[in-house]
Structure 1
Amino acid sequence: MPRSLSPTTKIFLACVFSCAVFFSFKAEAQYRGPVSATAPLFALDTPTGYDNTPFTPPVENMLLPWDRLIKKLNKKGIGIVVDYTSESAIALNAGHGGDAGYAHQIGVELDLDWEKIIGWKGFITHAVFVNRAGHNLAADLGDHSLNGFQEIFGGGGNVGVHLVYVYGTQDLYKKRIQIAVGKMPVNIDFANSPLFCTFMNKSNCGIPKSLTRGAAGYATYPGSTWGARIRYWPLHGLYIQAGLYGVNPYLNTNKYDRTGFEMGTDLYTGVYTPVEIGLIPHFGKNNLVGHYKFGFAYDSSQYRDVYYDNNGNAAAATGLPYRWTNGKTQIWLQADQMLIRNGSGPLHGLYALAGFAKSDGKNSPYTYQIYAGLVDRGPISTRPQDTFGVEWSETMASPELVASQWIRYRQGLPLPGNTTYPQSHITTLEVTYNIHAFRGLSIQPDYQRIWRTNLQKNKPTVDAVGLKIHAVL
């Protein structure tokens, strides 16, 4: 890990902490648990209110007899959620008009409150299992990048039964400290937001995907590794959290165990250590909530350099293997702020969101990702549970990787990075509207435009329309 932070970073962190101290005295508890109404993720651990993870997500069930049974079980410390998510998309142009893809996820979550079951105060366990199947439309377009039309297809594709995570949380010191230990993804805690999976595109749903593509340490749903996380609330509305996770470059592959039930650590290559500072202020008489995060992570694993060989020359020119580099660093800065409140619910309002992520360009395929958007839940007073969203995202390829690609391209050789032309950047625009059709059922028409698929400027712009359906039993 780097011995010291740069002066610029130190100044930035000092400003963040100063602002946090100022605003935190004004922050108040908003609600219990960050749950996205439109996401395939069940419950994120990333803080969205001054409280730790809820015992079980407060979802809306379609079937009333089942809903009544679940509420009875909840009182006994047993939480069960069963849901179905499908995402279908069809390309309209770019020589792929008519190409379509369907993908789905069937998920089951089991939550146990051990205080209610055996009297173990503050201890809760969570487990999620999913079935995933379908076809990835992006593959038809030769897009192997982080941007895909159907985010639900990610994480290994077709899998009969996949263990997503199993872990426990222990609250301490009147819930000002929480410890989590188990087999879990990094992204349920770090660099996440319940607003992200308003959208179908893979670039941001879950987390900004540049953090996990080419960075095995950032295990993302439905992949998980053994790890631990501790969160501390020094002030009301201000949290600091840090984690320690195993790095498994073979997650979601047949070489390891696509089903997630392999519990061994023999293929781990290092340790991933993320740290995040979060601020949750609110403003005005309408409780306009904001969420502001700054994070830093270090992956101790070795990664191939994307340009140099062991002699310090361009590996693409010499033909020698790319050299190994020690460690990888990442940072992220994220913010969302409610601008208008539409109701009393935690997400009922118009949010503006924006963010930035950076990875180490010498051994990562992507260097920068930036995004911005609007999410409005309850935009129509008579439709309080509908959600409208628009988001723009842009991701830049590593300059070192691009330089290596140009050397091989001019020689007529195959290019590194799953590409047929030197890469540059990719831009995505998505407009979506989630319709609350019935209790526990939402139907979401979607439009996406992607410029430079696979980050290649020689590829045409692609327009696609999609449909997402989410049903909770």
Structure 2
Amino acid sequence: MRAPFHCPLSKFARRAWLAPALATLLSHEAHAQYRGPIAQTAPSFALDTPTSYENTPFTPRVEHMFKSWGDLIKSLNDKGVGIVVDYTSESAMALDAGNPGDTGYAHQIGVELDLDWDKLIGWRGFVTHAVIVNRAGHNMAADFGDKSLNGFEEIYGGGGNTAVHLVYVYGTQNLFHDKLQIAVGKMPVNIDFSASPLFCTFMNKSMCGNPKSLTRGAAGFGTYPGSTYGTRVRYWPTHGIYAQAGLYGVNPDLNTNKYDRTGFNFNTNLYTGVYVPVEIGVIPTFGHNQLVGHYKIGIAYDSSNYADNYYDIDNAPLALTKKAARMDNGKTQLWVEGDQMLIRNGHGPLNGLYVMTGIVRNTPESSPYLYQYYFGVVDRGFWRARPLDTFGIEVSRVTASSELVSTQWLDYARGIKLPANATYPQSHLSVLEATYSIHVLPGLTIQPDYQRIMRPNLQRNKPAIDAIGLKVHAVL
């Protein structure tokens, strides 16, 4: 446990309205219990999410369905070996929109191996992480002609049906009493940036893991289960405040047959540039009940060349000339996100009523999406008789790039087929989701789910889709 951080406040600061918040933020008590970020109802992929007052934990603290296996894992943990084996299935059934009764099913079996090299050979502060998954199933959104970031079952994707897929393998080195951490290896961007264990409370792909307009907005924002070579540096100047920056390879063909949908292709021949994200975050707590919040702002630059959405090589509307699109150098992405616990229902970092909100912006000239907004409420332990149950409701809205829409209108007026499976110029898509995770027994949750998709594929000529779903998560 780290020693308390002492910061003498000036007379003005002591009298100012923000002094109590600063004092709480910088106190030892404020961070003592918030250790080890891990989404309670999702596959264990959020290891590096900076949502607690420590860097990457050695291995996720999870429940196990089988006590004998759990006891074995705990004994292995003491020796420096962490293993997590989990299973997630997601099923959905449409209620209307022309295909009532249509169903979709997808699953993932994940195996995670974490090694603490301090305990193994005495290499202090060095830990390695690796995850492989098996994925299979079908995304029901495709049945409705929706090729946008919407997906009823978020567990499907990233290569689709794969027997064994390498998600990541990387190492983290803590330095200067854990104030600085360096990560190097083959890893996704979204385990570090614009990440939250609250996101995968939900089943729709537009939010789980990270707001998907970032992933779809720039190829450089690699997301689980895809990964590229990269490095990330995170620095904690004091408890509850961090700054981090990364450098990752950009692979537009990640998780495709053209590259290697199994994740075991370590070649860089299809890399097109570098992705450089920077994020600053504040994690305050307020009051006697330690109501924790997570606030972050990030910006990233993708150095790759991308086709312009509107102009051709002669800077004329490409929809009219039908010449090759102009190639634009670089994309910029911005995200501002936050969540705040309003009511505490227990001792853990997720035990309480949270509100969460955020906005993402992409470069409209070469990205399919311009903005994504979201707002949600997550409440874990609100029912005293069911302290490990979780309720969530969220609304997300994504808007199409104005330049892309202008090109689509020109094509549509001339009767030319539109890309991205669109049958009408795109505008925006909204997702409403309500979900309830039932803690059945240690290591097992069952989660009924409801989703309403408005303007599927961002098209106003498509009727809204109502669907019910079921998510099952089990940790051996």
* TM-score normalised by structure 1 residue count: 0.95
Given candidates 321, 324, 328, the residue that maps to 1:321 is 324
- Alpha-carbon separation, structure 2, partners of 1:447 and 1:64: 33
CA gap of 1:276–1:127, structure 2 versus 1, over 3 A, is same
Number of the residue aligned with 2:71: 68
Conservation of the 8 A alpha-carbon contact between 2:45 and 2:191: no
Residue deviations 1:325-357, cap 9 Å, x none? 000000000000000000111100000000000
Number of the residue aligned with 1:288: 291
Confirm or deny that 1:267 pairs with 2:270. yes
Confirm or deny that 1:349 pairs with 2:358. no
Mapping for residues 33-432 of structure 1, pairs under 5 Å: 33-432=36-435
**1:21: how far off?**
7.4
- Alpha-carbon separation, structure 2, partners of 1:226 and 1:188: 14
Letter in 2 for 1:411: R
CA gap of 1:458–1:20, structure 2 versus 1, over 3 A, is farther
CA gap of 1:161–1:20, structure 2 versus 1, over 3 A, is farther
**1:43: how far off?**
3.4
**1:156: how far off?**
1.4
- Alpha-carbon separation, structure 2, partners of 1:21 and 1:283: 9
Letter in 1 for 2:435: T
Confirm or deny that 1:454 pairs with 2:461. no
**1:154: how far off?**
1.9
CA gap of 1:75–1:85, structure 2 versus 1, over 3 A, is same
Number of the residue aligned with 1:4: none
Residue deviations 1:419-451, cap 9 Å, x none? 111000000100000000011000000000010
SS in 2 for 1:383: coil
CA gap of 1:227–1:76, structure 2 versus 1, over 3 A, is same
Identity of aligned residues (%): 68
**1:264: how far off?**
1.0
Q: Which runs of 5+ in 1 are unaligned?
A: 1-17
SS in 1 for 2:193: coil
**1:30: how far off?**
3.8
Confirm or deny that 1:467 pairs with 2:457. no
Conservation of the 8 A alpha-carbon contact between 2:24 and 2:286: no
Conservation of the 8 A alpha-carbon contact between 1:33 and 1:47: no
Number of the residue aligned with 1:25: 26
Residue deviations 1:97-123, cap 9 Å, x none? 000000000000000000000000000
Between the two proteins, the alignment pairs up a number of residues equal to 456
SS in 2 for 1:331: strand
Conservation of the 8 A alpha-carbon contact between 1:92 and 1:462: yes
Letter in 2 for 1:219: G
**1:84: how far off?**
0.3
**1:415: how far off?**
1.1
- Alpha-carbon separation, structure 2, partners of 1:275 and 1:134: 35
**1:81: how far off?**
0.4
Conservation of the 8 A alpha-carbon contact between 2:455 and 2:463: yes
Q: Which runs of 5+ in 2 are unaligned?
A: 1-18
Conservation of the 8 A alpha-carbon contact between 2:33 and 2:347: no
Letter in 2 for 1:447: Y
- Alpha-carbon separation, structure 2, partners of 1:189 and 1:149: 24
- Alpha-carbon separation, structure 2, partners of 1:321 and 1:472: 50
Letter in 1 for 2:377: L
- Runs of 4+ more than 6 Å apart: 18-23
- Alpha-carbon separation, structure 2, partners of 1:19 and 1:144: 48
Conservation of the 8 A alpha-carbon contact between 2:309 and 2:407: yes
**1:214: how far off?**
3.8
- Alpha-carbon separation, structure 2, partners of 1:232 and 1:258: 33
**1:41: how far off?**
3.5
SS in 1 for 2:69: helix
**1:136: how far off?**
0.8
Given candidates 438, 441, 444, the residue that maps to 2:441 is 438
Conservation of the 8 A alpha-carbon contact between 1:44 and 1:194: no
- Alpha-carbon separation, structure 2, partners of 1:143 and 1:167: 34
Letter in 2 for 1:221: Y
Conservation of the 8 A alpha-carbon contact between 2:217 and 2:362: no
Conservation of the 8 A alpha-carbon contact between 2:21 and 2:285: no
- Alpha-carbon separation, structure 2, partners of 1:79 and 1:435: 26
**1:19: how far off?**
13
**1:360: how far off?**
0.2
SS in 1 for 2:151: coil
**1:216: how far off?**
0.6
- Alpha-carbon separation, structure 2, partners of 1:193 and 1:65: 31
Letter in 2 for 1:83: D
Number of the residue aligned with 2:11: none
SS in 2 for 1:153: coil
* TM-score normalised by structure 2 residue count: 0.94
- Alpha-carbon separation, structure 1, partners of 2:155 and 2:462: 24
Residue deviations 1:156-181, cap 9 Å, x none? 11111000000000000000000000
